[in-house]
Homo-oligomer: A and B are copies of this chain.
Amino acid sequence: MHDTARNYILRGKSIGFVPTMGALHEGHMSLVRRSCHENDITIVSIFVNPLQFGPSEDFQQYPRDFDADSERLRNEEVDILFLPDSSSMYPDRFDTYIEVGDIAKKLCGAFRPGHFRGVATVVAKLFNTVNPVRAYFGQKDFQQTLVIKQMIRDLDMNVDSIVCPTVREKDGIAVSSRNVYLDAAQRDAATVIFKSLNEASESIKAGERDAGSVRDMMRQRIMTEEMISEIDYIGVYDPETLDEASLAEKEVLLAVAVRIGKTRLIDNMIVDFEKKRLSA
């Protein structure tokens, strides 16, 4: 992969990169299409990265469907599907990690110790191998996009990270590889997440400035759904620092992480207060 990438670069080709864990859905495909549009060459990687799963998390069960994935990619102008295996990514005596600080400790980082260390490390490895000028990530994993931006900036990586809007089903649910874990009733219950984000966003756009009130409203809406077994976090945050906001006076992040049964679901929405515009 190193050599292939280097050859493209020597021929003056720009490489766009979409790192994934497979189980590709419309969210991934939107990244792939954008990369194909913006670069000469698009490389997609599929690697279920053990380093970003905690010991009690779903690494084993994580959905894998190589045939469906490659079929989906065949319909796009993807140049290379890169499929590293675990033993080449993490050979014996692998012992180097990239630690991103503060931004990786908040929200999901507080509930998934080591997760963002695993993400930063594998993304750095893939960047070093694939040598992209642009890499594409979904806004659904909002904190991940901040962690990667921080790493790129701090380590002087020569990559533009591009964040693409969350793709949603008709009922508002953010598409996610983990949605397959949900049975029909859980799937239905999960729609409360988007409703909660949407209501909060509407209330801010209607003039609500008190972030605490917005948070309480979100929480109350979520708790109307009995199948939500746990709330990891919910609230209104500064989209740069992920600190809790007290006032919704400038752009804010609404973010939620909940559990339905054993399935952990996250979603978020940016409310751009000044432009009174909503992007998700």
CB-CB under 8 A for A99 and B100, given A124-B155, A128-B158: no
Please, how many residues of chain A have a CB less than 8 angstroms from a CB on the other chain? 32
Q: How far, in whole Å, are A98 and B27 apart by their CA atoms in the complex? A: 31
Residue-wise, chain A 126-137 has the 8 Å CB interface mask toward B (1 for contact) of: 101101000000
Chain B residue with the shortest CB-CB distance to A96: B154
Which residues of A123-170 are within 8 A (CB) of B? 124-126, 128-129, 131, 150-151, 153-158
Number of copies: 2
Quick check: B155 and A96 within 8 Å, CB to CB? yes
Which residues of A80-94 are within 8 A (CB) of B? 91, 94
Quick check: B99 and A103 within 8 Å, CB to CB? no
CB-CB under 8 A for A125 and B156, given A100-B96, A101-B95: yes
Quick check: A98 and B98 within 8 Å, CB to CB? yes
Closest CB in chain B relative to A45 CB, distance in Å: 12
Which residues of A49-100 are within 8 A (CB) of B? 91, 94-100
Residue-wise, chain A 95-125 has the 8 Å CB interface mask toward B (1 for contact) of: 1111111110000000000000000110011
Interchain residue pairs with CB less than 8 A apart (14): A2-B158, A9-B9, A94-B154, A95-B103, A95-B150, A95-B154, A96-B151, A96-B154, A121-B155, A125-B156, A126-B156, A128-B156, A128-B157, A131-B158
Query: Hey, which bits of chain A sit against chain B, CB under 8 A?
Result: 2, 6, 9-10, 12, 91, 94-103, 120-121, 124-126, 128-129, 131, 150-151, 153-158
